[in-house]
Structure 1
Amino acid sequence: MSNQTADISRLEDFIPFDCLSESHRNEIQGQIEVIKIGPGRLLFKRGQSSDKAYFLIEGSLDLTDASFQVRHFTADDDENYLAIDNYAEHTINAITAEATTLYAIDRNKLDLLMTWTQAAESMLDEDDDENERDWMDALLSSELFSAVPPAMIHSLFVKFEEREVQLGETIVTEGEDGDTLFVIKQGKAMVTRTRGAKQETLAALSAGRFFGEDALISDSPRNATITMTSDGVLMCLGKNDFQAILQDSVIRHVTEDELDTMVLEADTACILVDVRLPMEFRHDRTPGARNLPLNELRREVQNLEKDFFYVVCGDGRRSELGAYILSEAGLNAYVLDRGKPTDAKEESHAEAKQA
């Protein structure tokens, strides 16, 4: 192990780091564990559960599968663009063949960041300016919004209302009731609090910062005054809208066994949809599935056949967001909960897709 800080630029050739926003890459840098180990050391073994994703930065590994076939895998291999054997339960043994450097990160955190980034990008038009992206990234990088189900991110953002503000305008006043969250899309603001007869300056806020979040989770009065120190634009979200979004979940899950039963009993065809990125899909293809990454799915959803039912496969929260996009468009959609599929079930699902 090493106390060395990860060089985030070394991960730019790996999925999903190549598509994470700059703010998310900076956030995740401190959560990457740098692993330096000598030759002949076991990194993980087949059947072992793991909550980490490993990326090979330098050196090489000998990877042994269930048939005892060994593959020598080097850092400069053309296929070294994904985490190594990135499953909750490993399917191979991995042993270092020489002095090796790897980066490790919590798989759940990585999945969450990737879902947020794709969700925000799916809402942006090509002509949207950088300010539009920045304020979304600011929210999605915060601990407060980590509690928002990724499938509801789109509904959350469309509830925000834009408000133009002027230099010197007071946005919130200390001691008053509050029921709105504000995000600074453009401009700057100052945070002050009364101390006896004096006004104490607590902080300066710039574009991308948000305030008023206490109003979304409690009924306490404002604990500071926020005043604009320039002209600007705020994005505003009411407390009721936020609560309604959290309570409104339309995501339905099915297991592989339940899906098999649905396919046998249904009068309409089942369409498998994989919302991962194309390179991920090609590397670990789901037989019979149609690859529709989130951006493309949102564009194509109105053209999909409404008489079929859709099952979103792939992994993690992106599948939930995909199912939400389909459901929002009036389609019958589910998320497939599964482990590593058997050949028989893969064939069954492929036949269902072709029905």
Structure 2
Amino acid sequence: MTNSALSLDRVQQLHPLQFLSPSAHQQLLAAAEQVKVSKGSIILKKRNTLPTTCYLISGQVELRHSFDDRKPLHANDQLACQPLEELVREGASVRALEECVLLRFERDLIAYLSTLTSDSDTYAVVNIEEGVDYLDDTLIDDDYQEDWTLQLLDSPLARNLKPVALHRLMALLERLPVKRGEQLIQMGSHADYFYILISGEAALSTELHGPFRGQTIELHEGSHFGEEALLGETLRNATVTMTSDGMVGRLNREQFLEVFADSLMPVLSEAEFLRRLNQLEGPCTLLDVRFREELRNDTRKQVLNIPISRLRSALPQLDRSTTYLLSAQGDQRSELATCILRQHGFNAYLQATPVDSQKQSA
């Protein structure tokens, strides 16, 4: 198999290469190295760090975490669009189950091309003349559906994700086919997963006495749900039901925190927290989201108290020019509050717990 046999379409399907410009795809195609691997060969060894990113183009491999934990991966599988090194946990290995072809790119080249943007790749320059309709109906695809990843990345939840976190999201996401009428989340149940709607449609039915007053919200490709109850470790306050066949991706709480914690719940050390609290980095407000009864013996001054259950309704009254510092005493509620605030465009940080401080010191 030669480079000429590798199509540009295939390169554009690989993650995260699909986010690069068309000219970058051409450069990657020219620089790609294709390697034929014989059956039984070890492709990635345990804790193996390479300067290249590797994709499976043909054949089948085994993702081996332990003797009892092995998963096959075929080049036609959807997960094969991810780099092999992102599909295995630290300490796992990849072995060829049959003769395979791998595609390798230099990491430095991908990093370099991701910083480049060509206007000619993105925009069409047109001289506008008054009275002329430039919209060509033949160019409109009525069946077009935007890629779910683009919808997700445009959401407040994922807008500030760093590339490494996005890679982890794609690697950790468990994909499940779902049927019309299937309940993904039931009101009043314990939270176990965060969900992304990869394909299909669903309906989210809210509590009658909750912040959305019993409203039913339509969910489409790229919609996400379930993170608030997961973070707050509370019962679900809505029901989500599929209104068509489709596919969802899900993360458990540990996986969700691994991917989103840095962007949605940044933690400040005790020293930095006090520095900001003393207004040394600009205006700041100490926010405690516990119930008022829990603050009876609190001796701190100038603490803004908004119970987590009322935070959403209070957002329009909050000051966007200040930084909100979330008290560590609020435990999971402070985590959830930080997440909500940052998704709505506020600058918010968590106070480090004693455990966090020990980790930072180490």
What is the TM-score when the length of structure 2 is the normalising length? 0.36
What is the TM-score when the length of structure 1 is the normalising length? 0.37
